[in-house]
Amino acid sequence: MFLNCTAHKLTEEQINTIRELYTEVIVELKDDNSILHSKLVNCPSEIGELQELARNLLEYLKVKYSESKGKLVIHFPIGSPAFNALFFRHQERENLPLCFVFSHTERKSVDEKQEDGSVIKRSIFQFVKFIEI
């Protein structure tokens, strides 16, 4: 099972890579547990609330790990940098053998000519690969 915890929709390139490297089963956190996803994309700023959120995500991941019979790949990041630091501390203490992946992209700049002759520079992020930790 590939669990997309990020706030972003997977691209076709990512989906193809997931199917090639990991699994056909792709679960979106925002669809599977919208309340938890909403809390993560709107991270609190208080340490106690961040710790509780980290525990809640870990409990959810334990269930998914069991459902996937130990074949769970988790696409991160989600939440604030402070949340991520706390989450990985909690996860390490739990000693769960979870596989986390992060998308690596390259920024490409595209010039778009406007009707008035002006040019707008747009950044496009091209998926390159998943980095496993």
User: In the block, which residue shows the tokens 């390490």?
Assistant: 92
Bin 69: left if φ > 0, else alpha if -120 < ψ < 50, else beta.
left
Q: Which run of H or of E encompasses 102?
A: strand 99-113
Q: What is the model's pTM?
A: 0.87
Tokens of 129: 């690969």
User: In the block, which residue shows the tokens 């669809």?
Assistant: 31
Query: What residue type is assigned to position 85 of the chain?
Result: A
Q: What is the pLDDT along the chain (133 residues), one digit of tens a residue?
A: 999 999 999 999 999 999 999 999 999 999 999 999 999 999 999 999 999 999 999 999 999 999 999 899 999 999 999 999 999 999 999 888 899 999 999 999 888 899 998 999 998 889 999 999 9
User: In the block, which residue shows the tokens 């992946």?
Assistant: 101
